[in-house]
Amino acid sequence: MSYTVALVGHSFVAGLNHHFLCGKGRARLANGVDSLPAYVTKTLEVDDYFRAIHMLGMRGATIQQLSQFTPQLVTLKPTILIIDLGSNDLSAFHHGHSDIMKLTSRYYESILKLLKASGASLAYICSCLPRNANIARQTPQQFLQSMHTFNTSMKAYCCTNNKLIFHTHKGFINDPNRQPLPISTWSRDGIHPNTSYGREHYKKSVRNILLDSVQHLHTPRYG
């Protein structure tokens, strides 16, 4: 069986879309050999399971803007929905614990509405990553603390609904002590995964979601 995926999010998604458009497959896309959604499945080596991966990225996107993707998703009718948002909300100002709880509650409600409207069988909610630039009125360490609180809260929400799965971006954290890698390892600007290491690990992270989703869809409660 062949599935359709929609990857929705901020500049990470927009950047990945640009990477595929301008990468090695540019000639194939220009000549009409492949559509971009089909080409992405082949590049990520998941075309045995997926016929199309649509990337809907909006630079600077926040949780409040998640509903703007609804019309496209209603048209696409994806089987799998991947959402990568939250970092821009956290970077706007230094959040207290109660602020983050309100933010994650709104995020969760928006995800449920999007899941229902799109008809997707599963939604993967991606973890936020650290940043040390473009963070208003807070230090990188304060942002890191907010990020951990945000991720922990969203993971807890996902545990309450069998259509939601929290996904931690691997390759951006040192496994032995769970401390972030130096951001310069994966980012040239302190925000985006735009070094060679960052791009490859972000692509690998998306691929891991796709392979995991196949296993979930083939279990009785999803099939």
DSSP one-letter code for 52? E
Residue-level pLDDT at 223 = 44
Q: Is residue 223 part of a domain?
A: no
DSSP one-letter code for 11? H
Q: Is residue 118 part of a domain?
A: yes
Tens of pLDDT, residue by residue, the chain (223 residues): 689 999 999 999 999 998 888 866 565 655 665 688 998 999 999 999 999 999 999 999 999 999 999 999 999 999 999 999 999 999 987 778 899 999 999 999 999 999 999 999 999 999 999 998 888 888 888 998 999 999 999 999 999 999 999 999 988 875 555 566 789 999 999 999 999 999 999 999 999 999 999 999 887 554 4
- How far are the Cα atoms of 65, 144, 154, 194 from residue 119, in angstroms, in the given order? 19, 34, 21, 32
Contact predicate 125/83, CB 8 Å: yes
pTM for this model (two decimals): 0.92
Contacts of 214 (CB under 8 A, 6+ apart): 3, 49
Q: Is residue 85 part of a domain?
A: yes
Residue-level pLDDT at 19 = 87
Whole-number Å distance between alpha carbons of 190 and 58: 19
Q: Is residue 115 part of a domain?
A: yes
Residue with tokens 């409207």: 117
Contacts of 42 (CB under 8 A, 6+ apart): 34
Residue-level pLDDT at 27 = 58
Residue-level pLDDT at 84 = 98
Give the residue numbers spanning the domain of 98.
3-217
DSSP one-letter code for 201? H
Q: Is residue 194 part of a domain?
A: yes
Task: List pLDDT tens digits, range 8-48.
Answer: 999 999 999 988 888 665 656 556 656 889 989 999 999 99
Q: Is residue 114 part of a domain?
A: yes
Q: Is residue 222 part of a domain?
A: no
Q: Residue 114: which CATH number?
A: 3.40.50.1110
As for how many domains the chain has, the answer is 1
Residue-level pLDDT at 88 = 94
